[in-house]
């Protein structure tokens, strides 16, 4: 007799597989026989069919227990299509907290399908500023207020890359100084990009007097309160949490809510050029590493070990 295993138990057992996806290590090879591998010439080793064996997930049908963390992949492709959005991972904690990692093109309908509305899409951690990681920011920012987010949008992401075009002829206008390509630059441009929208919608409530920016999020001291504010925390992409002598200095803490035991740190990603980061979220003895895009690196490997927070 075969023991019945629920979908949730299967997902827990497959935590290593999901971790592989989160780490960008690639999905495991085929572990379930009998699925359609015709697209791959019938070679079962070329397709992961494990998740085919799971029943469809119905949003709202699986309540999160207080000690659980749920990680949902809303999109994982750099080329969005009708069935697949660009990049975003949603992390929900049993204490009610939730976090977005990246906000790529086309992910908003996926969030809505999951039953997650824009008021819950308030805390966004960007791995880097490729369009497939931030393409839905204009909608999430500008329409958040219409979905009840009467507080600022909070965005974490890398500082400027420091990149300067090599321009021997001196003709390229951006060749004189480092690119203004940090997350604060991106968010300032986003506010300008959306100005027609935000002004035309400003007859509606955009803030509440009783709202006070939670301390772990108030990274600027500006005490922004309005839905059309963006509170940005820039993270220096070189920081690793250690100084040049190898001693811990906590310079890579992106977010730390001690009252709820949630800590998110960052570390360098190896991707295209300087200025990309990966994240590690720790809570309740659980942890999740989100690479964004990266090649395998020692920063990531070391952080697979649990850290006391
Ligand atoms: Zn990228």
Q: In the chain, where are the structural domains located?
A: 64-302
Q: How far, in Å, is the centroid of ligand 1 from the Cα of 307?
A: 27
> Rounded to an integer, what distance in angstroms lies between the CA atom of residue 87 and that of residue 292?
8
> Rounded to an integer, what distance in angstroms lies between the CA atom of residue 69 and that of residue 15?
11
Q: How far, in Å, is the centroid of ligand 1 from the Cα of 294?
A: 8
Q: How far, in Å, is the centroid of ligand 1 from the Cα of 24?
A: 12
> Rounded to an integer, what distance in angstroms lies between the CA atom of residue 13 and that of residue 11?
5
The pTM (predicted TM-score) of the whole model is 0.81
Q: Which two tokens mark 125?
A: 């951690």
* Contact yes or no for 74/105 (Cβ under 8 A): no
Q: How far, in Å, is the centroid of ligand 1 from the Cα of 130?
A: 5
**pLDDT given for residue 52 in this prediction:** 79
The string of pLDDT tens digits covering residues 249-260 is: 999 999 999 999
> Rounded to an integer, what distance in angstroms lies between the CA atom of residue 44 and that of residue 281?
35
Q: Categorize the per-residue pLDDT at 18 as very low, low, confident or very high, splitting at 50, 70 and 90.
A: very low
DSSP strand E in the chain: where?
69-75, 88-93, 98-101, 123-125, 153-158, 230-235, 253-257, 262-268, 277-283, 286-290
Q: Which residues pair with 71 in a beta bridge?
A: 91
Q: Kindly report which listed range (11-15, 21-25, 122-126, 216-220) carries the lowest average pLDDT score.
A: 21-25
Which of 106, 25, 15 minimizes the C-alpha distance to 291?
Answer: 25
* Contact yes or no for 111/121 (Cβ under 8 A): yes
Provide the CATH number for the domain formed by 64-302 in this structure.
3.60.15.10
Between the CA of residue 134 and those of 51, 87, 126, 235, 282, what are the distances in Å?
27, 8, 7, 16, 23
* Contact yes or no for 158/183 (Cβ under 8 A): yes
Which of 247, 302, 256 minimizes the C-alpha distance to 281?
Answer: 256
Task: Give the rounded percent of residues in the chain with a pLDDT score beyond 70.
Answer: 75
- 137, containing H or E segment: helix 137-143
Q: Categorize the per-residue pLDDT at 245 as very low, low, confident or very high, splitting at 50, 70 and 90.
A: very high
Kindly tell me the burial class for residue 42, based on how many C-beta atoms sit within 10 Å of its own C-beta (0-12, 13-18, 19 or more): exposed
Q: How far, in Å, is the centroid of ligand 1 from the Cα of 293?
A: 5
Average pLDDT over residues 45-62: 80
Side-chain-facing half-sphere of 99: CA atoms under 13 Å: 27
Tell which wins on pLDDT, 38 or 304.
304
Kindly tell me the burial class for residue 157, based on how many C-beta atoms sit within 10 Å of its own C-beta (0-12, 13-18, 19 or more): buried
Q: How far, in Å, is the centroid of ligand 1 from the Cα of 158?
A: 13
Q: How far, in Å, is the centroid of ligand 1 from the Cα of 169?
A: 29
**pLDDT given for residue 234 in this prediction:** 95
Q: How far, in Å, is the centroid of ligand 1 from the Cα of 121?
A: 21
> Rounded to an integer, what distance in angstroms lies between the CA atom of residue 173 and that of residue 180?
13
> Rounded to an integer, what distance in angstroms lies between the CA atom of residue 165 and that of residue 225?
38
Pairing type for strands 153-158 and 123-125 reads parallel
């Amino acid at each position: 007799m075969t023991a019945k295993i629920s979908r949730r138990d299967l997902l827990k057992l497959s935590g290593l597989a999901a971790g592989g996806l989160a780490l960008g290590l690639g999905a495991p090879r085929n572990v379930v026989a009998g699925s359609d591998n015709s697209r791959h010439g019938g070679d079962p080793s070329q397709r992961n069919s494990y998740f085919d064996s799971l029943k469809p997930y119905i949003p709202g049908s699986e309540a999160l227990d207080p000690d659980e963390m749920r990680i949902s992949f809303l999109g994982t492709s750099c080329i969005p299509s009708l069935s697949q959005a660009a990049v975003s991972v949603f992390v929900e904690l049993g204490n009610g907290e939730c976090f977005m990692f990246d906000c790529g093109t086309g992910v908003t309908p996926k969030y809505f399908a999951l039953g997650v509305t824009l008021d819950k899409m308030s805390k966004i951690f960007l791995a880097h500023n490729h369009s497939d990681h931030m393409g839905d920011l204009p909608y999430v920012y500008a329409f958040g207020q219409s979905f009840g987010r009467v507080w600022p949008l909070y965005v974490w992401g890398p500082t400027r890359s420091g990149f300067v075009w090599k321009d021997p002829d001196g003709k390229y206008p951006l060749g004189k100084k480092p690119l203004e390509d940090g997350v604060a630059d991106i968010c300032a441009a986003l506010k300008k990009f959306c100005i027609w929208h935000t002004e035309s919608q400003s007859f509606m409530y955009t803030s509440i007097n009783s709202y006070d920016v939670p301390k772990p999020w108030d990274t600027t001291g500006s005490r922004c309160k309005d839905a059309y504010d963006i509170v940005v925390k820039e993270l220096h992409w070189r920081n690793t949490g250690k100084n040049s002598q190898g001693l811990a200095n906590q310079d890579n803490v992106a977010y730390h809510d001690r009252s709820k035991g949630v800590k998110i740190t960052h570390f360098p990603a190896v991707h295209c050029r300087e200025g990309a980061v990966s994240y590690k979220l720790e809570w309740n003895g659980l942890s999740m590493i989100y690479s964004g895009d990266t090649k395998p690196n020692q920063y990531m490997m070391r952080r697979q070990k649990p850290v006391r927070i």
